[in-house]
Structure 1
Amino acid sequence: MTLVGSSAIAGPPYQTDDPDPTETGGLEAYAFVEGDWDASFAGSAGIEANYGASQNVQISLGLPLEIASRPLKVSRGNVELSAKWRFLNDENHGLSVATFPGVALPTAKGASGIEVLLPLWGGWKQDNLAVFGGGGRVITSVPGGRNHWVVGFAATRQVGAMNFGVEVGHSGASERGGHGLDAAGVGMTAALGGPFALVARAGPARERGTGHVFVQTFFGLQGLWGPKK
């Protein structure tokens, strides 16, 4: 549950989240594939569901499968549970702030220990422009894991039925003896009609200490039901 791919803790297609919850009584769901591309692919595919429990509370569930190529391997991933609480919502100035704590449970084959993310996200909206960002602390009991910070910032703009965005972020080393990671990307959401939209993000990531560069991607199908977000 780091900056590198934890969709249920972020705001698809971005790795950074915004502070606004799904509208009360609404369901926001994604079917997605995300991961890192180098000489091979490593990532996950699955579904994420967000439910608006009240005006300022969202409950989220992520059910991923872990995927790797060379050789091809698909296995169950760690179930992710989280709850977003927006405690500031200033509609007059377009400002909002929320916390979105989440936990990754050791449901993957051979997994042990849990990871907890304790973040704070803020945002500003004006007409078709939105800016959001923040970060938090990842606390882990996974063997070989390391507590670390994650931060990210993004800006998006609505243009007709399309939404475009840019993002930058950083994650500390998630493993003992590992390295931090700097990442950037561009994203988009394209309405398909009805409740569905395509969402996508792609961009480079660079490992601190080694200089290793690879590409991160996210592709998904979004569905919105009930009250519109």
Structure 2
Amino acid sequence: MGRGGTLLTLAGRWRTLVVAGLLGTCLEAGPPFFTDDPEPVELHHMELYLSWMGARTPGGASGSLPLVEFNAGILPDTQFHLVAPLAYAKPAGEPVTRGYGDTEVGLKVRLLHETEVLPQVGIFPLVEVPTGSAERGLGAGHTQVYLPLWLQKSWGPWTSYGGYGWWRNPGEGQRNWHYLGWLLQRDLSARVTLGGELFRRSAATLDGVASSGFNVGAILNLSERDHILVSAGRNLSGDRESHVYLGYQMTLSLEAVWPPASGRGPARP
């Protein structure tokens, strides 16, 4: 799935961490990384993720446990996306707060297919609906919109993808911000893929600072249906922050639930 600057109040600090940290990560993420790719889920297929995403700063920790993500190929080259997080916030020296966080909805659309020369290109507009409590540090308190453009190119066992995204981030003390990230990964076998990414985020608050960082991770294919995803990393500049992702992914064909009828596509029983 997040992923702030230091503010004067405790509530302000955690609102910033949620906005520019974990929830930002969720909006950007192509599990288990922050950076996403332009490739949507195949038509009549779906993905379901159950994961933990967390971040730690000198001021404490926050994240989502569990974070439920659902993706479905609803049209050719078009994916519907939904994230429902159970968020937590743990300021240093304070009790942990838990509750439902902000809901994320989006559509990933592939604009260009990859060729021998040209990369695959897609957009993935997302809306973060303020269903979490900002006063308890579990939400941003306002609607956020994310507009990214992603590119991808593969050769043999190697794949590289990345791009740029712009956040609309309204609210008192907040500012619109930008994300730039790129990832390189390699299939070691049919069961194991390793990857690493570099990213940069501009400040999301008026008194915040830009940050750069990295993640390294792996995807373990237990079967065609079941997958384990893990990544960890930290900021290299800006605010001190470390982050981790651990998730289970189930991939299914909707035709297994609604088999085709006379070759005319999925038919409900």
TM-score w.r.t. length of structure 1: 0.91
Match of 1:226 in 2: 253
User: Does 2:210 correspond to 1:158?
Assistant: no
How much has 1:183 moved relative to structure 2? 1.2
8 A Cα contact 1:8 1:81, kept in partner? no
Match of 1:185 in 2: 215
Which amino acid is the alignment partner of residue 163 of structure 2?
A: G
Within a 5 Å distance, the mapping from 1:43-192 to structure 2 comes to 43-45=63-65, 46-69=67-90, 70-93=94-117, 95-110=119-134, 112-160=141-189, 161-192=191-222
Which one has a larger percent strand, Structure 1 or Structure 2? 1
CA distance in 2, matches of 1:8, 1:138: 10
CA distance in 2, matches of 1:143, 1:104: 17
How much has 1:94 moved relative to structure 2? 6.6
User: Does 2:65 correspond to 1:41?
Assistant: no
Gap change, CA 1:76 and 1:143, over 3 Å in 2? farther
% same residue: 27
What do residues 16-56 of structure 1 show as CA deviations (whole Å, max 9, x unaligned)?
00110011111111111112124532112310111111221
**Unaligned 5+ residue runs, structure 1?**
none
8 A Cα contact 2:27 2:146, kept in partner? no
How much has 1:141 moved relative to structure 2? 2.0
8 A Cα contact 1:9 1:82, kept in partner? no
User: Does 2:191 correspond to 1:197?
Assistant: no
1:20 to 22, 33, 39: 39
Which amino acid is the alignment partner of residue 41 of structure 1?
A: A
8 A Cα contact 1:25 1:52, kept in partner? yes
What do residues 172-200 of structure 1 show as CA deviations (whole Å, max 9, x unaligned)?
11112111121101010111225111101
CA distance in 1, matches of 2:46, 2:246: 19
1:31 to 50, 62, 71: 50
Structure 2 counterpart SS, 1:7: helix
CA distance in 1, matches of 2:148, 2:217: 22
Please identify the structure whose Cα radius of gyration is greater: 2
Indicate the larger mover: 199-208 or 85-94. Answer: 85-94
Aligned length: 225
**Unaligned 5+ residue runs, structure 2?**
4-19, 135-139, 255-269
TM-score w.r.t. length of structure 2: 0.78
Runs of 4+ in 1 over 6 A off after TM superposition: none
8 A Cα contact 2:114 2:153, kept in partner? no
What is the root-mean-square deviation in Å for CA atoms of aligned residues? 2.0
